[in-house]
Structures are given as structure tokens and as C-alpha cells.
Structure 1
Amino acid sequence: MTHKFLSIAACLTLLTSCAEQYTPVNFVAQGDRIVATGTIDDTTLAAFQEVTADNPEIHTLVLQYIEGSVDDDANVVFSREVHRAGFDTIVPSGGMVASGGTDLFLAGVQRTLQPGACVGVHSWAGSGIVATDLPEDDPEHDRYLDYFQDIGVDEGFYWYTLEAAPADSIHWMTAAEANQFRMTTRTTPRLGSSTVCDER
């Protein structure tokens, strides 16, 4: 089931057509880091396993531009593997994660948001279901709650994302919000503004 696909700016109102045009995540080893760009789908885990098998000494994943996922189940399976493998995650200055990309960032053992990074969150909807219409004990939430428990992130972050913006919109987090939810393993000094992030 697909819930949290995000395409930035104009695509927010055209989710179906934009989902058909997405570019799957591409991984490139650069020095002591693996750089990731694209949208998470059911091919992402295999691509990640291939690049890590070729570069077993690298344990830092740079999320240059991860706009979300077209398959939430694939996203949590892949993100759990990133966590299990002991990777650190970084969103660089000028980089962007949103929706499922933000969930992926949280899989890092050590997590860094560099100044000016964009971090987007929103609620989810799909198959006639709207997350905010469900009671908190509905099993539809378990996919995300179980994932956050597995990677050691407080479930309060999940409930926050549902209220931050509806599924067809986006909320760009502030540094204060990132620090409130302990998204990083070091203090976040400044994140990208909504004006800047909407253009990425």
C-alpha cells in the first residue's frame, strides 16, 4: 500500500501523475560516503545492498535529495536495513529529505542535519484512508509506530507529522522542531526556510 509519496511544489496536487514520473534512488560511492538521490521504491534495498557490497568500508549515507517513497512497506524495510547495518545519515547543506525520506534519515545511528538542509513532513493518505481520521489504536498506524520503535525514535514524532501538514501538502521543519524531537545526534543550528525548500 502506498501512503506517503511526496513530490515537491507543483506535484503536490498531481500525486498520481507525478508518481508515474519518479526516479528511483541512485547510490554513488564518493570517498568515504555513499550519496543517495531519488525516490524510494521496491528496487531501493537491492540497489543499496549492491553498493554496500562493493564498498563494505563505507558506513555514511548522504541523503542529497530524497523526496519520499512510492511504497511505504519498501521504505521501512530499506530504512531498517540502513539502521541494522550501522549507517550514519547526513542531509547536507542544500540537500533535502521529505516524507519517507525523513523517515529514512532517522534510521541513522549518528544523524546530522547540516545548516540549510530541508526536512519535510506531512500526514499520509491512501486507498481511501486518511491518517488523521483514524483513532490512535488503529492498526494502520502500526507500520510506522513499529518502525520508529525499532530504530529508537520516540513515537511522538509520528503523531507530530500527522498534524504538521495534510498528505497533499508539506511542512518544512525548523531547527527548533528538529531539536525538540531529537532528530539529530548533535544540535541542529539552522534548517532551510520554507521559501527555499519549496524551490528544491
Structure 2
Amino acid sequence: MNKKIKIALITLITLIIGSGALFAFNPDLRMGAIVTFMNLKETTKFEVDGDKVYMNGIINTKTPDQLKKVISENPKVKTIVMGEVPGSIDDESNFPMAKWVREKGLNTYLTKDSSIASGGTDFFLAGNKRTMEDGAIIGVHSWSDSLGKEAKDIPKDSPEHEMNRKYIEEMLGTDDFYWYTIYAAPADDIYNMKNEEILKYNMLTEPIIKKD
């Protein structure tokens, strides 16, 4: 798991699952239990309205099949409107799903009330057209390895960077945004991007929409 979800969400689930002594004395086991627990549930919700599908929740191993089913049953859908998508607990599922979105020519859209971060931000980049209303929140951060070593402290030519770096390059044509994210905030924190930064890294294909 390279991308982590928002700290508040991790804390909440840790309190639920980590109440037993076994988890309390074994943080690695506790995190493994959290991931397993969340992957057993459909943590991403989809709701179709005309040619749009509204997406909310955490991306996990079940999300790709959910999305493909929605699109198969609603072929008129052209745009994925992302609401609250705080992250992904499984990049091995998230990245192939995102590439499928790009191949299908689907668009991604953020309303002024949208809030995405981490793996949710990665997923947004898959849109053929990527549009954002002013006020939307886009959060980024680094990742750390199994020993807690931060991505920025790992040599740039290390294969550990490759999955995330290559995905960003495929989506945006350059890996500049990847290197930006690993310095933006540590793995256990989130940095909310400014509009000028969002534009600088070509995250949008359309001008920012100003809403009254």
C-alpha cells in the first residue's frame, strides 16, 4: 500500500479495530487488519444521474469491478464526478482502473464542494477531460516504504518509485507531478494544492470554473 488515506480516517478505524490487545502491541498487524477489513467492504459508492456518475468513498480492491459494472449498465455515462474520495488502500487496483477510465475516454470532474486526496487525486488524473470548479480541494502527499522510509529519501533511480512515477507520466505526459507530490507533504500528512499549483502541473484540461 503506497498511498495512505486521510489520517482522521485511519485513526477512526484504528480505534475500532485496534481495541484488542493483539492489535495494540503490533502496529503492522493492526494496519494489515485495517486494510483487510476495508477490502472486504464496498467502500466506494457510485450513483448515476444522466450522463454522470457520482463517486464517493475510499478506493479499494472492489472499486474497479463496481465502476465497470456501473459503466456497463449505464453506457450513456461520460463523466465521473468525484465528491469525497480521500484516497486508495490499493494502488495495484487503483492504477489499472484509472488506465481503464482513460482508455474508455471517460472524463473526471470536481465540483466546488469536492475533496480528493492521495489515491483519489491519482484517480482524477485518469480523466480524458479533467475539469474542476473553483473551491474543490486536491490533496497530495508522499509515500513511505514498509520500514517507514519516506519516498523523498529513496534514490530517484530506485525501482521503488517506478509504479507511481510511471503512472503519473502515462496520465500527464511527464513525471514532474510525481516528484512534486513526494516533497509536498510526508506520508502521514496531506497538502492541499493551490489553484496555481494545480494549473502548473497540468492537472486540468479545462480552465477552472468560477462559481458564484
Q: TM-score range by the shorter chain?
A: 0.7 to 0.9
Is the CA contact (8 Å cut-off) linking 1:115 and 1:189 kept in structure 2? yes
2:88 alignment partner AA: S
Q: Does 1:131 align with 2:129?
A: no
Among candidates 14, 17, 30, match of residue 17 of structure 1: 14
Q: Is 1:102 equivalent to 2:121 in the alignment? A: yes
Partners of 2:69 and 2:9 in 1: CA distance:
31
Aligned-partner Cα distance in 2 for 1:163–1:32: 37
Residues paired across the two proteins, number? 188
* Structure having the higher Rg: 2
Task: State whether residues 172 and 202 of structure 2, in contact with CA within 8 Å, keep that contact through their aligned partners in structure 1.
Answer: no
Question: 1:6–1:15: 8 Å Cα contact kept in structure 2?
Answer: no
SS at structure 1 position matched to 2:56: strand
State whether residues 109 and 130 of structure 2, in contact with CA within 8 Å, keep that contact through their aligned partners in structure 1.
yes
- RMSD in angstroms over aligned alpha carbons? 2.1
Identity of aligned residues (%): 35
Unaligned runs of 5+ residues in structure 1 are 191-200
Offset of 1:151 from its aligned partner? 2.1
Query: In structure 1, what is the equivalent of residue 4 of structure 2?
Result: 5
Question: Residue 36 of structure 1: which of 39, 50, 55 is its match?
Answer: 55
Q: SS of the residue aligned with 1:89?
A: strand
Q: 1:1-200 to 2 correspondence within 5 Å?
A: 2-8=1-7, 10-11=8-9, 14=11, 17=14, 20=34, 24-128=43-147, 129-188=149-208
In 1, the alpha carbon distance for the partners of 2:115 and 2:138 equals 6
CA shift for structure 1 position 6? 1.5
Query: Aligned partners of 1:135, 1:121: CA distance in 2, in Å?
Result: 20
Per-residue deviation, residues 26-46 of structure 1 (Å, max 9, x unmatched): 111112101100101111100
* Separation (CA, whole Å) in 1 of partners of 2:57 and 2:9: 15
- Offset at 1:189? 6.1
CA distance in 1, matches of 2:48, 2:113: 19
Segments of 4+ in structure 1 off by > 3 A?
none
Q: Report the alpha carbon displacement of residue 165 of structure 1 after superposing the two structures with TM.
A: 0.4
Shift of 1:57: 1.6
Where structure 2 has 5 or more consecutive residues not aligned to the other structure, the ranges are: 16-30
CA contact (8 A) 1:91 1:114 kept: yes
Taking structure 1 as reference, are residues 163 and 15 closer, same or farther at Cα in structure 2, changes over 3 Å only? farther
Q: Which has the higher helix share?
A: 2
Distance of aligned partners of 1:189 and 1:31 in 2 relative to their CA distance in 1, 3 Å threshold: closer
- Normalising by structure 2, we get a TM-score of 0.82
